[in-house]
Amino acid sequence: MKITWLGHSAFRIETAKARILIDPFFTGNPAFDESTRKDAVAGLTHVLLTHGHGDHVGDTIRIAAETGATVLANADLAAWLGAKGVEKVDMGNTGGTVHFDGFSTTFVNALHSSAQITEDGVSHSLGNANGLVLHFEDEPTLYHMGDTDIFSDMALINELHQPEIGLVPIGDRFTMGGAVAALACRRFFKFDTVIPCHYGSFGIIDQTADLFVQAMDGASTKIEVPKAGGSVSR
């Protein structure tokens, strides 16, 4: 498995059978290197969305049109994307699992909002925010937390799914900050590897992963902090 952080909460996941983008916020993302766009969408099979905010839906509509990738989102967001012209759109909702060739995606809770004020000036309710747990046939289980605070039912997510890789928001203000994110990782999970995200983009959130890394000091979990555009192999 190859995991590439594309800035903010956007990731590319490459496995033997799939090329997946999660929350592909490219345009307007200060941390995204536009010169990497071609590589980011190369061979794409799926786009997975945690919730409906613009910094997570991002370039989904354009990417789907260019690549023909299947887009998976919560039911409300999926219906909205379909109305926007996305042809291959699939839907789920909290607690549900959707199966694809080589992997499945389970929608789990996240503590966040999901409405979006779009170009028509109207606020659209786009379902609940979620985290996504990805189970693969021959690869580690991966949990993208989406945008969230800590919550005690993370223990149940771990019990049900036992994720080995965590993609964890740490930027504060709109999600949990570094110290609280570290508490979530240490108390509720037994991750082999964690990659922090949702930082270093907009100026009003934390610009580095330092607080998270410091709070994880002494934990057995491996902390990977790639630069935007950098990759981690598992």
Domains of the chain, each with CATH number or no CATH: 2-226 (3.60.15.10)
Distance CA 8, CA 12 (A): 12
Distance CA 114, CA 79 (A): 14
The model's pLDDT over 11-63, given as tens digits with 9 standing for 90+, comes to: 999 999 999 999 999 999 999 999 999 999 999 999 999 999 999 999 999 99
The model's pLDDT over 105-129, given as tens digits with 9 standing for 90+, comes to: 999 999 999 998 877 788 889 999 9
